[in-house]
């Protein structure tokens, strides 16, 4: 009972976590802050089983049944107890969540043919929380659709643990820690934007074992290998174009849950930012891998993490910032984000890791994909990847029609001996 009380605290409202606070101010019809995780099954989705599974899962995640509301000083999440919408996956991906409809949640389930997708607004959770939700949903779905009691994801069978709603950023905040140094503006891809709706997605499939073997042979992890590939190609494009900032940086998000043994399902991740300064000369691929490895190692060091968390949370703790009304705070936050946010990096690549299903349902799942949120118009192209069983799917989300980066990325991987298959372009 004690645990139940802790998991289901008096659900009336929740503060936005520290990472989420910026999203209501900066997001809109194009920069939506919405990401998607999809699973592709081997047979068509049984709709009544999915509807039942979504209702059962929503009961386990009451803190997801919330809507975004405007307070006088901050936005907040108000509990409404509604189940998520299940919609036909027929339009563009990662559309924003309307804020004017009363009772509208900030996540949804989409279905089409063999695929089930969940789309989350980043104010609610990050990729780690979304995967936890999707795994729970699939456990219930396979039970309802095929009567499978040997659930494919036993690690989430107990549902969310105590502490699922904690904002761990504020808990790990320490006063008086010096802020990390401010970075010089990074170079941005010079491509022109597509007409509205701008967001375009391209997916590639790679055998997970081959990718792991290639990364191992290069002496790094899959994340480091793909981040190095992206950084190396951005360097090539920057040198071809010949002008712009000499700093090329790739944002690589990393999950903090394992490090802090955290059970929170709210945002709890930070970024490493491997960088190249082309004034130092051309970097070979091996040199790029070394830079990426060192930077990720350094940025995931506990002291560095504490420093970044303290920098991020200090603004929220500032008494002056707290008492400024939201109608002033929001435009200021938007201005500051546009001035200091996307200027810091060139692109992003996020690895959601490996999902390993077990039991008879494992055979019924073919692949998974992650669609990163539509990028800022300065960034233009971002990437994400996730591995399910034997398949890794890399997804590029782009605001431009120019496929140069994606095509160079695939060529680089095939040149390294990896078989890359185009899965879809939407």
Q: Is 43 in the site for other proteins (CB under 8 A)?
A: yes
Q: Is 194 in the site for other proteins (CB under 8 A)?
A: no
* Total Cβ atoms within 10 A of residue 73: 12
Residues 6+ apart with CB under 8 A from 415: none
Residues 343-372 that bind other proteins (CB under 8 A): none
**Applying CB under 8 A, which of residues 2, 10, 48, 176 lies at the interface with other proteins?**
48
Q: Is 192 in the site for other proteins (CB under 8 A)?
A: no
Six token digits for residue 221: 């992890």
**Applying CB under 8 A, which of residues 44, 190, 219, 331 lies at the interface with other proteins?**
44
| Residue 199 beta carbon to other proteins: minimum distance, rounded to whole angstroms | 12
| Residue 108 beta carbon to other proteins: minimum distance, rounded to whole angstroms | 7
Contact (Cβ atoms closer than 8 angstroms) between residue 87 and residue 110: yes
Q: Could you tell me which stretch among 105-113, 210-218, 305-313, 334-342 binds other proteins (CB under 8 A)? A: 105-113
Query: If we measure between CA atoms, which residue out of 73, 270, 315 comes closest to residue 175?
Result: 315
**Applying CB under 8 A, which of residues 100, 149, 182, 192 lies at the interface with other proteins?**
100
Q: Which is nearer to other proteins, 100 or 182 (CB)?
A: 100
| Residue 71 beta carbon to other proteins: minimum distance, rounded to whole angstroms | 18
- Alpha carbon of residue 160 to chain centroid: 19
| Residue 49 beta carbon to other proteins: minimum distance, rounded to whole angstroms | 7
**Applying CB under 8 A, which of residues 113, 154, 190, 219 lies at the interface with other proteins?**
113
**Applying CB under 8 A, which of residues 69, 87, 218, 308 lies at the interface with other proteins?**
87
Q: Could you tell me which stretch among 97-105, 173-181, 283-291, 347-355 binds other proteins (CB under 8 A)? A: 97-105
Task: Please identify which residue in the block is written with the tokens 């890359």.
Answer: 420
Q: Which contiguous run of DSSP H or E holds residue 349? A: strand 347-355
| Residue 53 beta carbon to other proteins: minimum distance, rounded to whole angstroms | 13
Query: If we measure between CA atoms, which residue out of 409, 31, 402 comes closest to residue 199?
Result: 31
Six token digits for residue 145: 């659709």
Six token digits for residue 414: 């095939």
| Residue 412 beta carbon to other proteins: minimum distance, rounded to whole angstroms | 34
| Residue 43 beta carbon to other proteins: minimum distance, rounded to whole angstroms | 8
Contact (Cβ atoms closer than 8 angstroms) between residue 98 and residue 80: no
> What span, in angstroms and rounded, lies between the C-alpha atoms of 254 and 270?
6
Contact (Cβ atoms closer than 8 angstroms) between residue 146 and residue 283: no
- Alpha carbon of residue 377 to chain centroid: 18
- Note the residues at the interface with other proteins (CB under 8 A): 43-50, 85-92, 95, 97-98, 100-102, 104, 108, 110-114, 119
């Amino acid at each position: 009972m004690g645990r139940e009380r802790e998991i289901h605290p008096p659900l009336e409202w929740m503060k936005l976590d520290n990472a989420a606070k910026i999203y209501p101010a900066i997001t809109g019809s194009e920069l939506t802050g919405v990401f998607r995780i999809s699973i592709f099954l081997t047979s068509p989705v049984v709709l009544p089983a999915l509807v039942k599974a979504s209702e059962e899962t929503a009961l386990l995640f009451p803190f997801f049944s919330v809507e975004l509301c405007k307070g006088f000083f901050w936005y907040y999440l108000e509990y409404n107890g509604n189940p998520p919408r299940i919609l036909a996956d027929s339009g563009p991906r990662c559309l924003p969540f309307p804020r004017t409809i009363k009772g509208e949640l900030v996540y949804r389930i989409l279905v089409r043919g063999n695929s089930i997708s969940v789309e989350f607004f980043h104010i609610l959770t990050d990729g780690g929380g979304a995967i936890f939700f999707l795994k729970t949903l699939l456990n219930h779905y396979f039970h309802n659709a095929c009567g499978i009691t040997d659930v494919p994801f036993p690690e989430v069978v107990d549902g969310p643990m105590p502490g699922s709603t904690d904002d761990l950023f504020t808990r790990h905040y320490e006063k008086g820690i010096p802020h990390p140094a401010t970075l010089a503006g990074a170079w941005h891809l010079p491509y022109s934007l597509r007409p509205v709706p701008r967001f375009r997605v391209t997916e590639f499939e790679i055998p997970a074992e081959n990718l792991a073997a290639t990364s191992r042979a290069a002496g790094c992890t899959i994340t480091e290998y793909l981040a190095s590939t992206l950084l190396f190609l951005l360097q090539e494009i920057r040198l071809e174009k010949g002008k712009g900032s000499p700093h090329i940086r790739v944002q690589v998000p990393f999950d903090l849950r394992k490090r802090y043994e955290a059970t929170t399902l709210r945002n709890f991740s930070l970024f490493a930012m491997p960088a190249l300064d082309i004034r130092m000369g051309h970097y070979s691929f091996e040199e790029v891998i070394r830079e990426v490895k060192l930077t990720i190692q350094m940025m995931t060091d506990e002291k560095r993490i504490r420093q970044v968390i303290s920098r991020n949370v200090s603004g929220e703790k500032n008494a002056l910032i707290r008492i400024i009304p939201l109608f002033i705070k929001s435009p200021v936050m938007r201005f500051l984000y546009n001035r200091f946010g996307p200027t810091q990096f060139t692109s992003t690549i996020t690895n959601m890791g490996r999902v390993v299903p077990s039991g008879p349902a494992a055979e019924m799942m073919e692949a998974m994909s992650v669609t990163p949120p539509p990028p800022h118009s300065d960034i233009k192209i971002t990437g994400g990847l996730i591995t399910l069983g034997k398949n890794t799917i890399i997804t590029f989300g782009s605001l431009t029609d120019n496929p140069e980066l994606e095509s160079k990325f695939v060529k680089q991987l095939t040149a390294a001996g990896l078989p890359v298959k185009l899965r879809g372009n939407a």
